[in-house]
Amino acid sequence: MLDFTIRPARPGDAEFLADMLVAAVNWAPDSDRSREATMADPALAHYVAGWQRPDDFGVVAVDCEGAAVGAAWLRYLTAADPGYGYVADDVPELSIGVVESWRGRSVGRALLRAAWAAARDRGVRAVSLSVERANFAARLYAAEGFRTVESFRDSDTMVAEISP
């Protein structure tokens, strides 16, 4: 039995999504980029700035007391303001963050699957993301059907097709 549930992301989740963006940026044990530095970087801040735009959607994992412990959200970015995992204007980019004490407890996989279901319900046909190869999450994404479409020095852009 899971000790968390998943609900749709809401406009009031903006601050928590920013926290999860910081958690995702700081995935490595020796990473300590501050929230201020993360949100001051336009290349990162655009993943959550102005949440929730009309085409933004996602899911939030909450513990048995209702505290948020992770989130997965999708945002359409454009060629004029691309994300690290940008592939096309009509392919939303997935971001996932899990509170450190909840990592390794299947929260990320559950969030990924719930985000896919939400995407499928909206008629989304593909989802992209960027992940550093050393990040444990890279194996999760590959196991869940993401394939590498572009490689950089330390990271990959991955895409997953979503079946109707």
**For residue 57, what pLDDT is reported?**
97
**Which of 96-116 are b and which e, b meaning 16 or more Cβ less than 10 Å from the residue's Cβ?**
bbbbeebbebbbbebbbebbb
Q: What is the CA radius of gyration of the chain?
A: 15
Quickly list H helices, 1-122.
14-25, 35-40, 42-45, 107-121
Entry field: residues in the chain:
164
End-to-end CA distance of the chain: 28
* Residue 86, token pair as written in the block: 């940008």
What does DSSP say about strands 126-132 and 147-151: parallel, antiparallel, or unpaired?
A: unpaired
**For residue 89, what pLDDT is reported?**
97
Which domain CATH number covers 120? 3.40.630.30
The number of folded domains in the chain is: 1
Residue 135: helix, strand or coil by DSSP? coil
Q: pTM, whole model, 2 decimals?
A: 0.93
∠ CA 94-120-105, rounded to 5°: 55
Domain span at 109: 4-161
Residues 17/9, Cβ–Cβ less than 8 Å = yes
Spatial distance between the Cα atoms of 156 and 46, rounded to a whole number of angstroms:
19
Per-residue pLDDT of the chain (164 residues; tens, 9 = 90+): 569 999 999 999 999 999 999 999 988 888 888 899 999 999 999 999 999 999 999 999 999 999 999 999 999 999 999 999 999 999 999 999 999 889 888 999 999 999 999 999 999 999 999 999 999 899 999 999 999 999 999 999 999 999 87
Spatial distance between the Cα atoms of 149 and 136, rounded to a whole number of angstroms:
19
